[in-house]
Amino acid sequence: MGSAQKRDCVGGRMTSTLIRTPEGRITYWSPEIAQQYGYTAEEALGQSSHDLLRPQHWQSLREIEAILADRAEWHGGIILHRADGQPVMVGNYWRLHADPAGTGSFVTEVHTDIAASDSPASIELSDVLTTIVQDLSQPIAAATAFVSGTRRSVQQATPNPDLLERGLTGAADQLARAGEILGRVRALGTSLNNPRLQELHGKLAATLERSESLAHESKSVRQRAASARGEGRKAREQQRVTCQSDSGLIERAIILQNIQVYRRLLATHQSDEHSDDLIRQLLAEDEMKLAALDHKDVADGASS
């Protein structure tokens, strides 16, 4: 069995190998790697390894390919995905080879389990990752809920300003919480002198800064929303006062017109005594209404 077909046990960790072109097209897919990822050779050959395994790198693929082209090798830990969609943490060693026939080049990939599944290191690593995921999932889920509630309010014909403010406030708080967690994750490796960790810390710091920037932006939006809400309240109050003022003027005009009509009827003596009594009663009521309006205007003027 050739070395590419052999699945060795290195320090208790299992390895397997594939061969591909520099562009990623798979030309060899061993039985061991088929067992590891759940794809048969028929399913894998000719496919792009990047599309098939959907790798997630701590570096960009462009950065990795540049290192491979420059140094003829690259190694690091990545996350790949099985045929059933499950993610797998593996160590990868890539080596760029010149084709002996002189027709081009090819890449061998050695995939190594980061830790044997039953080893203490694997259990401890799982514990750490689970803790990080749990810590981050809570504020992210909460922020998503707040944003969803805010979106529903905005889509309403008359958005609820209280709901908008609560949603923006809650999302900003949860983003700030997520930023704190990322800061703690970044601090976990500060005592390790490793260039790769230093670069990783830089990436985490950038992510943290984006999270903080988003939280700050959310806070700013919340403040603008609160300001707009206050201006809207003032506008509605002014409209209410204007409407009340207009209504008062109309009411006063109607009362004055009625008083004039009643007085003219009484002055002309065109009605009988019973009708005159009724007109006097209506006149007295409207004069009382007019006096009440005058009193209210004086009181409003004093309070303003």
Within a domain: 58: yes
Highest mean pLDDT among 54-68, 114-128, 174-188, 222-236 belongs to 54-68
71 pLDDT exceeds 90?
A: yes
**Cα→Cα distances 177→137, 139, 166, Å:** 11, 6, 16
186: β partners: none
pLDDT tens for 10-29 read: 455 678 999 999 999 999 99
| Arithmetic mean of pLDDT, 244-271 | 72
* More confident of the two residues 295 and 23: 23
Q: Could you tell me if 229 and 125 lie in one domain?
A: yes
Q: Could you tell me if 76 and 125 lie in one domain?
A: no
Of 235, 253, 270, the one marking the end of a domain is 235
281 pLDDT exceeds 60?
A: yes
Within a domain: 2: no
Within a domain: 184: yes
Q: Residue 294: what pLDDT?
A: 80
How many angstroms separate the CA atoms of 185 and 198, rounded? 13
The percent of residues above 90 in pLDDT, for the chain, comes to 21
Within a domain: 193: yes
Q: Could you tell me if 213 and 246 lie in one domain?
A: no
Q: Residue 3: what pLDDT?
A: 39
68 pLDDT exceeds 80?
A: yes
Within a domain: 4: no
Within a domain: 304: no
Mean pLDDT, the chain, integer? 75
Q: Residue 44: what pLDDT?
A: 96
Q: Residue 102: what pLDDT?
A: 66
Q: Could you tell me if 68 and 152 lie in one domain?
A: no
Q: Could you tell me if 125 and 224 lie in one domain?
A: yes
Contact criterion met (CB below 8 Å) for 88 and 80: yes
Q: Could you tell me if 231 and 245 lie in one domain?
A: no
**CATH number of the domain that residue 79 is part of:** 3.30.450.20
- In the chain, the number of structural domains is 3
The percent of residues above 70 in pLDDT, for the chain, comes to 57
Q: Could you tell me if 108 and 125 lie in one domain?
A: no
Three-state secondary structure string covering the chain: CCCCCCCCEECCEEEEEEEECCCCEEEEECHHHHHHHCCCHHHHCCCEHHHHHCCECCCCHHHHHHHHHHHCEEEEEEEEECCCCCEEEEEEEEEEEECCCCCCEEEEEEEEECCCCCCHHHHHHHHHHHHHHHHHHHHHHHHHHHHHHHHHHHHCCCCCHHHHHHHHHHHHHHHHHHHHHHHHHHHHCCCCCCHHHHHHHHHHHHHHHHHHHHHHHHHHHHHHHHHHHHHHHHHHHHHHHHHHHHHHHHHHHHHHHHHHHHHHHHHHCCCCHHHHHHHHHHHHHHHHHHHHHHHHHHHHHHHC
Q: Which domain holds residue 291?
A: 241-297
Q: Could you tell me if 133 and 188 lie in one domain?
A: yes
Residue 1 — pLDDT band, cuts 50, 70, 90? very low
Residues 6+ apart with CB under 8 A from 139: 174, 175, 177, 178, 181
Q: Could you tell me if 190 and 263 lie in one domain?
A: no
Q: Could you tell me if 133 and 97 lie in one domain?
A: no
Q: Residue 119: what pLDDT?
A: 64
Of 235, 260, 276, the one marking the end of a domain is 235
How many angstroms separate the CA atoms of 15 and 226, rounded? 59
Within a domain: 303: no
CA quadruple 10, 15, 20, 22: dihedral sign: negative
Within a domain: 14: yes
Q: Could you tell me if 221 and 246 lie in one domain?
A: no
Q: Residue 223: what pLDDT?
A: 63
Exposure letters 28-56 (e unless 16+ CB within 10 A, then b): bbbebbbebbebeeeebeebebeebbebe
Of 78, 113, 148, the one marking the end of a domain is 113
150 pLDDT exceeds 90?
A: no
Q: Could you tell me if 164 and 229 lie in one domain?
A: yes
